[in-house]
Amino acid sequence: MNAPFLQGRTALVTGSVQGIGFAVAERLAAAGAAIVLHGLATPAEADRAATALREAGAPDVRFLGHDLRDPAAIDALMDEAIGWRGALDIAINNAGIQFTAPIVEMPPERWDAILAVNLSSAFHVMRRALPGMLSRGYGRIVNIASVHGLVASVNKAPYVAAKFGLVGLTRVAALECAAAGTRDSGGITANCIAPGWTETTLIEPQIAARAAIVGGDRETAVADLLREKQPSLRMSRPAEIGELASMLCRPWAHNINGITLPVDGGWTAQ
């Protein structure tokens, strides 16, 4: 099951210098894909991530640091990503930012930034990636949504709105591309993964805020957050999300299309 089934393929993973994005990129690298690494990172951070991906098995890695808040920058990113090896077979839209506040206190600029990075950037990436995928009969769009693309939480209006939008956008792409390609070529699919609580830096501000309420202890804060939402009472590891994204890229997954797969310990089953 760990054979290099993506040998000869090229994958773009946005927001992939750390966290879930890096874990996804690392798993695709292990499957033989060349990786377009992306993120807002220092040269040293980008070099460390690129080295790790090569060690994982990527035949080549290219780092791009374009700002996903800017559609023109995304166009430039896609020009480079597609032109690098002449094709882009896999696009993983993972980049995301977060800010928590009630709607009445949400700074409008935070709303705009979160919608731009967490939703609009996925549209711009897909708009540029899909034509080549359609022409070759194989392509994978995997959008890292969130449990908040399926259920809401207080104080997360822009994040929830963006993730619900991402789920809808993915379903439209799945329908538009469903008949392209063949079973043998692998077809074109678009799917979402919806993680619940996962061990990433994105949730550290929420853990810190909860720790302040429960006496300053981080472990108690994490347990309290899990008890509130996630029945398994344990977080996912980023590598587990990477395994799932890799699975969706396999040729036999040609009929797994338009789904949003929760990895949430039963959160959305309640």
Strands 90-93 and 10-13, sheet pairing:
parallel
Count CB neighbours of 251 within 10 A.
Answer: 15
CA angle 231, 234, 237 (to 5 degrees): 130
> What is the pLDDT, as a whole number, of residue 83?
98
SS3 string, the chain, reads: CCCCCCCCCEEEECCCCCHHHHHHHHHHHHCCCEEEEECCCCHHHHHHHHHHHHHHCCCCEEEECCCCCCHHHHHHHHHHHHHHHCCCCEEEECCCCCCCECHHHCCHHHHHHHHHHHHHHHHHHHHHHHHHHHHHCEEEEEEECCHHHCCCCCCEHHHHHHHHHHHHHHHHHHHHHCCCCCCCCCEEEEEEEEECCECCHHHHHHHHHHHHHCCCCHHHHHHHHHHHHCCCCCCECHHHHHHHHHHHCCHHHHHCCCCEEEECCCHHHC
* Gap between the Cα atoms of 115 and 112, Å rounded: 5
pTM of the model: 0.94
User: How crowded is the C-beta side of 62, counted as CA atoms within 13 Å?
Assistant: 16
Count CB neighbours of 51 within 10 A.
Answer: 11
- Tell me the average confidence (pLDDT) per consecutive run of 10 residues in the chain, 270 residues long: 85 97 98 97 97 98 98 98 97 96 98 98 98 98 98 97 98 98 96 95 85 87 91 95 98 97 97
> What is the pLDDT, as a whole number, of residue 2?
57
> What is the pLDDT, as a whole number, of residue 98?
94
User: Which residues, in sequence order, are CB contacts of 200 under 8 Å at separation 6+?
Assistant: 18, 19, 20, 238
Yes or no: say if 57 and 32 are a contact pair by the CB < 8 Å rule. Answer: yes
> What is the pLDDT, as a whole number, of residue 1?
45
138 included as an active-site residue: no
Count CB neighbours of 230 within 10 A.
Answer: 20
* Gap between the Cα atoms of 244 and 143, Å rounded: 12
Catalytic residue among 22, 138, 159, 197: 159
